[in-house]
Chain A
Amino acid sequence: MRRRDAWWLAWPLLAALLLLLGYPIVYALRLAFTDPLTGASPQLVNFSQLARDPLFWQALRNNALLPLASVALELVTALALALFLSQRFRGRAGLRAIVILPFALPEIVVLAMMRYIFVPRGYANAALAALGVSPLDWLRPGSALAWATVVLVDAWHVTPVVFLILLAALAGIPEEIGEAAQLDGAGPLARLWRITLPLLKPALVAALLLRGVDALRIFATPLVLTGVEGVPVLSSYAYHQWADYGNDALAAAAATVLALLSVTLSVPLLRLRAEDA
């Protein structure tokens, strides 16, 4: 097929991308750099307003730290689960299905359930009370515990994605390598550290890249569990400006900052992937 023919075939997709992706991005950028009062553009008035809002700085800080904690927890948990569930034993298939289940549930269902669990008179505190332990304020706005709860819930919901990537990669590692190492006297930890993990590195990097970029867009988990003010992130902050104050320009400016943050943090991950390839 000639290159010109290929372009002809691709144009419907390109047109759709331009219309549904390109135009909104350009529009949002224009909005972010336009003074909503005078209509003058390009202006930095929205960004200077953001800089004066303490809630924005909290959102920015959380948007950098929450994904870090969440992805780290996901990688460790998923690796442990994948290593365990790659072994052969009775009931393995059932356990694998249970591990994948959280990801099969719609996000809003998971979050509504989690709210019922972690509200002050929820199931978590009922369980603590049954054990004779004082109740905890799991979702207290601005507290470290609320932050940890958001990380835990977010990780619980998406760990299956990382688990599946790592499980598939583990299945691709020939068993003979491990057996040979065992014959040479390598213990389980040495085999994990010197054989399994190096061979898993491409899958780990792929999972890190996939989840790292995705985690920056965190939105519903902190919003549903703690509200905008409890554990603010950039996307919930932008939503708050748009929905509560009708301030489209400030919302667009916050979204622009989030996009910049995503691009900036994605570059090292992409470099890592390229080096690995």
Chain B
Amino acid sequence: MALVILVTTLRRVRSTGALILLALAGAACGQREPTLTIAAALLPNELPAYREALRGFERENGWRVTVVPQQYAEIRRALAAEAVAGTGTLDLVELDVYSLPAAAADVAVLDEAAVTPPLDALAPQAVEAGRIDGLRFLPQRLTWQALLYNHAVLGAPPRTWDELRAVAAAHPGHIGIKGALYEGLTCDVLPFVWAAGGQADAFDDDGARAAFHLFAALAPYLNPQSATFREASIAEAQARGEIVLHLNWPFAMALFASQGLAPDPIRSAPLPRGPAGTATVLGGGYLAVPRRAPQRDRAVALARYLLSQPVQAQLHEQLGWFSARRDVGVGDGGVLLDGFVALRADVRARPGGRDYARLSRLWQEAFRAVAFEHSDPDAVLVATAERWRAERAAEAP
């Protein structure tokens, strides 16, 4: 019967344009269930597990979720483009914690009551990092750096700054730092400033001075390529045996493991303890609802689902993601991530101000002046502090 109707209809349709319209109308009628679109920074091998984790949400609500895997920078640009265009297609986005201040204007402030739970189950430090003029970002996954060292060469990792100095002196040219002009360098510098009791937004306090004197002491022993090292290139250098230790994110351990280099000879360890303890920089992916999101309430429901205990536990188990939930462990990574697990309590967020990018750049330039141009650390820090104050004064209304 249906075939007869179709054939009859087709005979009546005179133009190709009308046929296309008919097809589009049919497709629209068939697409009854609402579709949510989430852009997340997923690697190709992570996508199937992430999609699997979303199945429960689709079943519970009868909504489809389209996952767009992209790099953080691309998601940020798409978000900005949609904000300017005044219309959007993305319901939920995942952003790098570093880009949150810059993206704050393009995402909606969340109603805290609507995201409690899971808000009450998340680590307060991680939640605070997502609060920029109101709660805008929710931590989907956390990450932080640890010390990656060559166990075969060093035996034990340096546990204090003094031990770090001794290791450097014993292995000249084999100490690596991500010294390129980019955010990765700030992530290497701030843990030392914090570990000496310094503040991330004060360049001339005692903590910064102690950290920069340590950098000056390490400078002669740094691998010459340090001035251009980034996450991937420094990991490659350690894999080739050109350096014996550096700071990096968990992905590097996975990379070493895939090359048969971890957990032996390369292992992870906590960062060396400074005069005021140990610290490491908070990284990770945060969820946000774009200002132009077509289905804001449903997007919030999806974020709530993604941060629920079972889903976070599933993502941790299948993808090794560290959760911001206090009731999801981080210790299941085996010996490979020992050093990272030990640092969980020492994770600290970077300052969240809108001028963080400039602050970060000043730390990078100060480090490079001391480490690669061998300038006096005290003079560099005083000059940097003055520059920071002058820039802020110039911008003050």
Interface residues of A (CB under 8 A from B): 37, 55, 119-121, 137, 139-142, 226-230, 240, 243-247
Contact = CB atoms under 8 A, between A and B. Distances in A.
Interface stretch (B34-42, B177-185, B270-278): B177-185
A246 B228 contact: no
Contact of B228 (A120, A230, A247): A230
A246 B227 contact: no
Contacts of B230: 227
B102 interface: yes
B99 interface: yes
B181 A228 contact: yes
B181 A120 contact: no
Given A141-B225, A244-B181, 16 more contacts: A37-B395, A119-B242, A120-B242, A140-B225, A227-B227, A227-B228, A228-B181, A228-B228, A229-B180, A230-B227, A230-B228, A240-B182, A244-B182, A245-B361, A246-B102, A247-B357
Taking chain B's interface residues, is the majority helix, strand, or loop, or is none over half, making it mixed? helix
B225 A120 contact: yes
B361 A243 contact: no
A197 B42 CA distance: 58
B225 A229 contact: no
Given A228-B181, A243-B73, A142 B99 contact: no
Interface magnitude class on chain B: 20 to 34
B76 interface: yes
A174 to B, nearest CB: 53
Nearest to A55: B181
B59 interface: no
A226 B224 contact: no
20 contacts: A37-B395, A119-B237, A120-B225, A120-B240, A121-B240, A137-B224, A139-B225, A141-B227, A227-B227, A227-B229, A227-B233, A228-B228, A229-B180, A230-B228, A244-B183, A245-B182, A245-B361, A246-B76, A246-B99, A246-B102
Contacts of B260: none
B134 interface: no
Contacts of A137: 224
Interface in B212-243: 224-225, 227-230, 233, 236-237, 240-242
B357 A229 contact: no
Contacts of A120: 225, 237, 240, 242
Given A121-B240, A121-B242, A228-B180, A245 B357 contact: yes
- Among B76, B227, B361, B395, max chain A CB count under 10 A is at B227
B324 to A, nearest CB: 25
B270 to A, nearest CB: 28
Contacts of A55: 181
Output the residue of B180, B229, B395 with the most chain A CB within 10 A.
B180
A244 B230 CA distance: 11
Nearest to A139: B225
A11 to B, nearest CB: 24
Contacts of A37: 395
A149 B236 CA distance: 20
A226 B99 contact: no
Nearest to B76: A246
Interface in B231-288: 233, 236-237, 240-242
Contacts of A245: 182, 357, 361
Interface string B386-397: 000000000100
